[in-house]
Amino acid sequence: MGKREIFISLFATYLVYSIVVYTTGTDKPVSYAPTQEESIIRGKEMFQQHNCISCHQLYGLGGYLGPELTTVWSDKHRGEAYMKSFLKNGGLRMPQFNFTNDEIDCLVSYLEYVDSTATTYKKLNP
């Protein structure tokens, strides 16, 4: 097999792979109540403002100091109460940000949204 045939077969494989990767998980749109949209957006803004990604990961990207947060909402060992406790009180390595209850609810709403969009990620990282 010549170089040209190898290139064509690898390129075709790459194209098929790309199509599968970029279309998987987008079949079902994520749904949430219209009242949650503002809370989710505010939570995302807070996540960015406080640079949470420097310590935590979403979808496998980010820092390694804190836990991975993509599926924290649906994790049977963590969940909503776990998140609210850490956001309110901090931890050994997590600073206490003195968030209000409303701010905590917004961050939790954002993490719940992230969890709901992680269908492919959950399959790869059970």
CATH of the domain at 48: 1.10.760.10
- Residue 2 in domain: no
- Residue 45 in domain: yes
Helix (H) or strand (E) holding 62: strand 61-62
- Residue 23 in domain: no
- Residue 21 in domain: no
- Residue 16 in domain: no
Separation between Cα atoms, residue 63 and residue 7, nearest integer Å: 36
- In terms of residue numbers, what domain contains 72? 31-124
- Residue 3 in domain: no
Separation between Cα atoms, residue 19 and residue 33, nearest integer Å: 31
- Residue 117 in domain: yes
96 φ, ψ (degrees, to nearest 5):
-90, 115
Beta partners for residue 68, in sequence order? 57
What per-residue confidence (pLDDT) applies to 45?
A: 96
Q: Indicate the number of domains in the chain.
A: 1
DSSP-derived letter for residue 25 is: T
pLDDT string in tens for the chain (126-residue length): 789 999 999 999 988 888 877 776 555 666 777 788 999 999 999 999 999 999 999 988 999 999 999 999 988 888 899 999 999 998 889 999 999 999 999 999 999 999 988 876 666 665
Instruction: Tell which residue, 45, 44, 91, has the closest CA to residue 66.
Output: 91
